[in-house]
Amino acid sequence: MSLLVKVCGMTRAEDAAFCEESGADFLGFIFHPSSPRNVDEAFARSVKTSSAKKVGVFVKQSAAEVIEIMKNGRLDFAQLHGGQNEEFCDTVGRERVIKVLWPQRYESSKEFQDDIDRFAPHCAYLLFDAGKSGGGHGVSMAFDVFEDVEIPVPWLLAGGLSAENLEHALITAKPSGVDLNSGVESEPGIKDKNRLGDAFACIARQRRG
């Protein structure tokens, strides 16, 4: 499977278009009022794509609210970025859930593996973010955390990724895909074409390799 690319934090239609033209497989729309990248359903619905899938990022909504926003925003996937459990994933629909875990929360690789095994049957993708909560903060993680776990579903790596650390991340962590956000911005919610171009160039080299 070719390396997957998600660019999160879409707030401008021109950024979404540029990301898709550059080769993004997923575009992320954040539905969290305290985020500087927060958007509404009307904006998500207004962004038209030809092949990229649209992902809603949810933190505190109920499952019913997630389903309603996905419908109104014409979203393909729900990225569950809070404490949602397996039942929540199943209610939204496992085939359209991207479940987020934070490797740095765990005191041992066994604890990390236990949560991977817990959620893998209930989602289409797992996403591993840096830090211990939240996201979009520009912090990266030690990628060797993935050496001691088995991940049975496709998974995305997130956390301060940019052209400067992407090659190392891809070689060391060996993810199914990457999630770009703060590392390709000029300011929160504003994507930087030069940084995006450099990141996609790095990704293209890895895809060819």
Q: 141 or 61, which is more confident? A: 61
Q: What angle do CA 92, 120, 135 make, to 5 degrees?
A: 70
182-201 pLDDT, tens digit per residue, is: 999 999 999 999 999 999 99
CB 96 within 8 A of CB 124: yes
5-44 pLDDT, tens digit per residue, is: 999 999 999 999 999 999 999 999 999 999 999 999 999 9
Distance CA 24, CA 205 (A): 15
68-113 pLDDT, tens digit per residue, is: 999 999 999 999 998 899 999 999 999 999 999 999 889 899 999 9
Which residues form the domain of 78?
4-208
Q: State the CATH number of the domain containing residue 177.
A: 3.20.20.70
Distance CA 56, CA 79 (A): 6
- Number of domains, the chain: 1
Residue in 7, 4, 52, 3 with CA at minimum distance from that of residue 30: 7
Distance CA 85, CA 41 (A): 24
CB 8 within 8 A of CB 2: no
Q: What is the pTM of this model?
A: 0.93
